[in-house]
Amino acid sequence: MPIHDWTKVVAGVFHDFHGEWIRSIKHALNAGILPPDYYALAEQRAAGVEPDVLALTGGQPDAGPGEQPAGDGGGLLLAPPRTRVVAESDFAAYRRKQNSVVVRHASDDRVVAVVEVVSVGNKCGRNPLRSFVEKAADLLNRRVHLLVIDPHPPGRWDAAGIHGAVWDHIDGTPYQLPADKPLTLASYECRDTVRAYVEHTAVGDVLPDMPLFLVPGGHVLVPLERTYQDAWELVPARWRRVIEG
């Protein structure tokens, strides 16, 4: 099912769909995509931020990709993901600018990755966009891997797309958004550097699976198309008719 044009409806209609898509992603991750030591929760607070989906682990903090069991609950992919754009930033310079307090959970249930589905409200003004970008940078600064899904075209405040705004903040490098593919999917892998794997798409395109890193060098693939379809089936018929034209 091709991705739809969500500019045809008011923000509240997408917000309702947004919630269903988040739940669908969470269910897919917990139903066999994540390795046994990992689990996903929706809309939980993590050290001052409110991500859409958290991937957590009860495993050992220093476990590497080769130590994560595949089992019946999924396994990590160790080959680099294939995406249109791969960029790397020396994030150490950004970290030196921060006066941060790292909040750790008292148990071993560490946040290792976050999935964010961008809403119109995240980009409707300078301050909301800055808040989103700073939240993303804070997660990366704490070495939490991040997947950002933006099904909305760029606007006044994110002319280079949501990845362009994030990348400019952490790396200071301008980003050129392809004019024919204005929607953005970006996965960020945290090491001493931050590596971005970016796909661009457009209304009418089928969504690709995107990597979600759980450890440096190890990721799972999030089935965006399948979870989008599951959420779309729950959109009221009245609004499906409007969106489909």
pLDDT tens, position by position, 24-74? 999 999 998 988 888 888 865 544 445 566 555 655 444 444 334 333 345
137 DSSP β-pair partners: none
pLDDT at 61: 40
218 DSSP β-pair partners: 215
pLDDT at 69: 38
State the helix-helix crossing angle for 126-141 and 161-171, rounded to 10 degrees: 60
- Name the E strands within 120-172: 145-150
pTM across the whole model = 0.83
Residue 231 has pLDDT above 60, yes or no: yes
Token duo for residue 29: 């991750």
Q: In the chain, what are the domain boundaries?
A: 6-63+72-243
Residue 234 has pLDDT above 50, yes or no: yes
By the 8 A CB rule, do 118 and 132 touch?
Answer: yes
Separation between Cα atoms, residue 211 and residue 221, nearest integer Å: 5
Separation between Cα atoms, residue 63 and residue 215, nearest integer Å: 8
Q: Quote the longest CA-to-CA distance of the chain.
A: 51
Mean pLDDT on 119-128: 92
Residue 104's pLDDT band (cuts 50, 70, 90): very low
**CA proximity to 149, closest of 44, 240, 51, 8:** 51
Residue 152 has pLDDT above 50, yes or no: yes
Token duo for residue 72: 């019946």
pLDDT at 70: 34
By the 8 A CB rule, do 171 and 151 touch?
Answer: no
